[in-house]
Structure 1
């Protein structure tokens, strides 16, 4: 973990959906000083959904919790490799306002629900499929919807160094472009991942960020809960 953690939180119910894409398509969307990071010739666009639980400044006894949904890609930057976010939709009015005003992050308000709906043969409790829905409600920005049900199907594993799973999941730096380029650092234990299935009924995040919908099915992973520390965002 970071030596001086500004924020502490737990991430849970994580869904990773990764689509390969031509690096040239991604390159056109990046700000100055960032370039595309590719794995075996492919760039990737990833939709990531999860719940940010018990978010609190270091030492605070009680924190906030809300779902988040983001579209991201993978880049090389002045401080090393990292993630570049096209959006971070969140169901928290105050958190979105603070992140937009102070940190230049592309946060947008959205109405979200994360649940484990019961079925005829399942009670709808822990370990059952997760339904994640989001409808962007932020004024003055493109509309975006997401509706998916997902569940793990494979054994738990840690990504091997140098593997595609490591390239897509083991990222501890992000960049954001406002009036200048910013970067943030996070820290946590390596992800515990599982192969997963996802029934994606709606997903307009690509169109909302100016991309055509990628061809083919995504690589889908479920992420076990992890405790996260985050540093303050700084100029890159």
Structure 2
């Protein structure tokens, strides 16, 4: 086994990032060594089609846009983070719980691993913002974020601090009935890691969590100004996918450094 195969978990890297990992409701590999843990609650996913060439320019070296039937997407995701913890230690009190709003793209590397690339992450806790930016290179921003339930209606809102236009909100009506995900929804949500560029190298940070469960929901209103602030063409049409999930516990494993030069730029 050569070095590149070792970095790909024993599989031969595919030129151009071919032979991607199959989509599935459960992670393709376990996370034995836990770097940190957290739980995601009351997730709302909004997605629009995106220009693959525009997306490619925004991805870290060594990755390329992940495509489904020749299309790629930009996601705007709202959720409440609970119980952020390092390794096996107890969750951080207060600082480990916050509302987050992120803009994300969909990537694939030369090992075929599917991931996400975050273009922005808004959070209302300053210390996690500073740690995530310094330790993992993630584009967190200290923003004013909120989540409110009004009966069966859920409202999320974020507003950037200062003069930057980083506002977003979503309002949905959530039913008690479960909803079966479409192939597109599985492509967008069954993601078992993230790609990020840190100190001149691209890394893959794996995660694992139980299978998603979704509930039927209706979109009542939205503002996606953060998408334009993240360097992408702002959406003008209704999202092609709107999902609500009650939540999952998540474990992240140690980062894996990507072989240089493929498949992206």
Q: TM-score, normalised by structure 2?
A: 0.77
Once the two structures are overlaid, the 10-residue window that deviates more, 70-79 or 41-50, is 70-79
Structure 2: how far apart are the matches of 1:142 and 1:176? 23
Structure 1: how far apart are the matches of 2:46 and 2:90? 34
Q: CA deviation at 1:234?
A: 4.2
What does residue 50 of structure 2 align with? 21
RMSD, aligned CA: 2.0
What does residue 106 of structure 1 align with? 139
Query: 1:184-226, CA deviations, whole angstroms, 9 ceiling, x for partnerless residues?
Result: 1110011112342233343211210122212421110001221
Tell whether the 8 Å contact from 1:49 to 1:70 is kept in structure 2 after alignment: yes
CA change 1:193–1:7 in 2 (3 A) is same
What does residue 149 of structure 2 align with? 116
CA change 1:210–1:193 in 2 (3 A) is same
Structure 1: how far apart are the matches of 2:42 and 2:49? 23
What does residue 71 of structure 1 align with? 103
Tell whether the 8 Å contact from 1:134 to 1:147 is kept in structure 2 after alignment: yes
Structure 1: how far apart are the matches of 2:104 and 2:196? 11
**Corresponding residue SS for 1:224:** strand
Q: CA deviation at 1:10?
A: 1.3
Query: 1:115-136, CA deviations, whole angstroms, 9 ceiling, x for partnerless residues?
Result: 113xxxxxx4xxx211111112
Tell whether the 8 Å contact from 2:38 to 2:249 is kept in structure 1 after alignment: yes
Q: TM-score, normalised by structure 1?
A: 0.86
What does residue 232 of structure 1 align with? 254
Q: CA deviation at 1:20?
A: 1.2
What does residue 209 of structure 2 align with? 188
Q: CA deviation at 1:72?
A: 0.7
What does residue 81 of structure 1 align with? 114
Structure 2: how far apart are the matches of 1:225 and 1:191? 8
Instruction: Spell out the pairing of 1:1-236 with structure 2 (5 A cutoff).
Output: 2-63=31-92, 64-79=96-111, 80-117=113-150, 124=151, 128-137=152-161, 142-153=164-175, 155-157=177-179, 159=181, 163-179=183-199, 180-218=201-239, 219-236=241-258
Report the number of matched residues.
223
Tell whether the 8 Å contact from 2:60 to 2:195 is kept in structure 1 after alignment: no
Structure 2: how far apart are the matches of 1:82 and 1:57? 22
Q: CA deviation at 1:29?
A: 2.1
Unaligned runs of 5+ in 1: 118-123
Q: CA deviation at 1:30?
A: 2.0
Query: 1:29-52, CA deviations, whole angstroms, 9 ceiling, x for partnerless residues?
Result: 223211111111211001011011
Structure 2: how far apart are the matches of 1:25 and 1:154? 38
Tell whether the 8 Å contact from 1:159 to 1:191 is kept in structure 2 after alignment: no
Unaligned runs of 5+ in 2: 1-29, 259-265
Structure 2: how far apart are the matches of 1:188 and 1:22? 30
Tell whether the 8 Å contact from 2:165 to 2:229 is kept in structure 1 after alignment: yes
Higher relative contact order (CA 8 A, sep 6+): 2
**Corresponding residue SS for 2:254:** coil
